[in-house]
Structures are given as C-alpha cells and as structure tokens.
Amino acid sequence: MIIAKADRRLPQCTLKAFTLSVLLVVSVAFGLTAYAAQTPANPGNRPDHAGPPQDVVDQLLDRGFQQIQPSIFERKPADTPTSYETVVYGIDGHLWLLGQQEAFLETLEARYERFPAPELLDAILAQERWIEGTLALLDEMLTQEASGQSLDDGLKAVRLGSGEVISVGEAVTSCSTTLARAASAGPSATGPTASGSASFSDTCSEMGTVSSFSTAQGTDSSGNINTFTQDCPDDEGEDVSCDTSATVVAESDCFAGGLARVLFGSFTHTVSETSSTCRSLSASLTGTTSLFVPAGSTRTASWTVTPSNGETPYNYQWLYNNAAVGTDSPSYSRSYTHPGIGFTRTDTVKVTVSDSSMPTQSDTETLTIQVTYANTCTDPCFCPFSTVGGINLETVTTVCP
C-alpha cells in the first residue's frame, strides 16, 4: 500500500541560496539506526557546524545532556530512563531533528501497511505536520542567514523544568520562562499506552510553541486491531500547553508512541518514547504465613506465585531471607524440623517474576512466615519464661494447681 506524502521540499528561493544535503537514516531516539545530516553550505562568515553559545553548552552538559554533535544534545530523563530527551539548536540541529521525524514517519507508515486503520492514518498526517513545521523553521533560519541576520536565540534565561535554568548571556532576572516536556510509552494492564505533554510559560511576552502526540495500536483476543491516536497541533503563545494520551486493549502486535515538543527561539526541546510491549506484568504470591511445628516433628510450608498480563514464558527467582533458593518454578516449598527448643521466628519469602517481553518486565512479591516451634517442657506448670541464645522461649498459658 502506498501512502501519499506531502511535498516536504524547501522553498526554491532558499534552495537557490543554499544546497541542503540530508542523509535520512533511522533515528537512535526511536530504537533504529543513527541519522546523519550534512551541514548546509557555509553562508559567508558563518562558522562550520555552528552550535549554541559555549555557556549554554556547558550548562546542558552539567544537566546530564550528551553533546552528540555541536548543535545536538541528548539525555535520558531520570524519571523515565527509557525515553529520550533532545535539545537541538539552529540549522544543523534542526536538520538532524528533521531526520528523526522522517524516521518515525517511516515507522508509522510501516505499521499502517501491516495494520491499516483510520486512526493510524491520522497519526501519519500529524507527523507530516510536524515535519512541515520543522521545514518552515529551517526556511526561516536560512532566510535570516541569507540576509545577514543572527539567529534568534530566545530569551536570555530559560527554565527547563523545576530548578533547571539555562542562561544565555546575561540572565534576565525580571523574567520567568519555564518549559516542560514529557512523554511515555509502555504497557498497561489491558494493552499498550502512550502519553505526551508540553508546556511553555513566560512573563516577558516572549512566545513559545508546544505540541504533543500519542498513538497506541494492538490486536485483542478476538483478533480485532484496535488503534487510538491523539494529536495536539502546534499552539503558540506566552502561556500554552498540550497534553495527549492513547490506550487500547490488546495482547499482541502492540505499538505505542508518545512525543512532545517545545520550540523557543532557535532551540527545540523534544522528548519521545516508543514501546512494543502489550501489557504490564503483575504477580500474586500466596502460601503459608503461619506454621506450628510440634516437638519431634517436621512440617512443610509452600508458596505459589501467579503472574498475569506479561508475555510468556516466565522466569522465576525465589529468595528466602534474601538468599537465592528454589528452582525456576512458580512454586517453592520448605521444611521445618523442630530444633529441640521452643521459640518463634519470622522469615521472609520473596519471588521475582520476569517475562519475555522486550524490554523484559519484572514484578517482585514478598510474604512473611511466622514459624512457632512447640515448647519441649512436658509440665507447663513448671516451664518458666526464659531465653536461649537471646530468643524468647514460647510459654504455655495454663491453670496450675
């Protein structure tokens, strides 16, 4: 099936001034191969591979970003380590971002060929609009350079979420600029789910642009292909936000993607995450929680864990008082033999269940067991309360003469 694509060529007036050679390969941010973009022809005295001011570079590096190229910075957010957050600057950075957007578009088109659905076509059209927006921004930047203007770097102080202030030149203390972006994709109890959110606010009348996008698709137990897409197109202003989410019921052939973007001056901040996992693994641990062992005897306790919503086969690791025990089995048993003295002890039984999804999901459940060994004194009226090795002996309450 061939999907019609919008004409994503730069305006001819710009192409006459600059030769853009873009090599679109698959983007790292979407789990594919790396993308490379050639730098446009040097317009006059513009430095090759020009990046943002060095003080901005230093601050981004201090905040955990890695400098992939002079104008491209990437990190994995601490709260969502499977997503990718990217900051790009200027012409070179947005050419690279264009490659990422093209790569994700190809992913959506491939999904559509396998599992066609109107909602997925909406997702393709939404991604087309993101690409058109990036091309328009590139055209604006190239036009600025052609006329000898410097790039608009945005405000002198930008707050990347709580506590992350990036200063450009001298900080403007009277202004407050905050931009936030988040994206997620993964399994829920019923199927794949994704979300995207972006916001921009400013107190000095500066304008920002936000957009977000979420899509989820999968096949349910009846063989139905379920798809849902939510798109928040570009919204520009001094105080704007976009929030999207998508969830479907599915147990196979799952896909979810969440993206968010904030554009401010010559900087674009994006965060994205994709997932092919269908449902979130959960486990229930049941078994013995209290055991009485008479004198001179042995009793057995047993436990069983029941996983659900994960992808089979499952793997099991049992721990008894934090020591590895048992086999790769959903059940574990342990025998208790009376030690010759009476006392009570409390132990923990823990099991970690892992499934076969990519990436692997796991769930850990814990139970406590109280084991009471019967007092060996034959005449309870003459069994005083005492300790052996620091352990309180069990006493028998009775009516004595």
How far is the first Cα of the chain from the last one, in angstroms, to the nearest whole number? 95
375 pLDDT tier (thresholds 50, 70, 90): confident
CATH code for the domain defined by 282-392: 2.60.40.10
pLDDT in tens, 197-235: 999 888 777 788 999 999 999 999 899 999 999 999 889
d(CA 102, CA 50): 23
Spans of all domains in the chain: 12-275, 282-392
Give the burial string for 61-70 (b: 16+ CB within 10 Å, else e). Answer: eebebeeebb
CB 102 within 8 A of CB 29: no
The predicted-structure confidence for 89-129, as pLDDT tens digits, reads as follows: 889 999 999 999 999 999 999 999 999 999 999 999 999 99
Peptide bond into 359 cis (omega under 30): yes
**Is a pLDDT exceeding 80 seen at residue 265?**
no
DSSP 334: E
| CA dihedral sign, ordered 63, 67, 71, 75 | negative
Answer for the pair 16, 41: CB distance below 8 angstroms, yes or no.
no
- Look up the pTM and report it: 0.64
With 70 as the cut, is the pLDDT of residue 304 above it? yes
**Chain segment 177-204, per-residue pLDDT in tens:** 788 888 999 888 889 999 999 998 887 7
For residue 285 the two structure tokens come to 């641990």
Task: Using CA atoms of 384, 387, 391, 396 in order, give the dihedral in degrees to the nearest 10.
Answer: 0
pLDDT tens-digit map of 26-79: 232 332 222 333 334 444 444 445 678 787 788 888 888 999 999 999 988 766
Confidence (pLDDT) at 165: 60
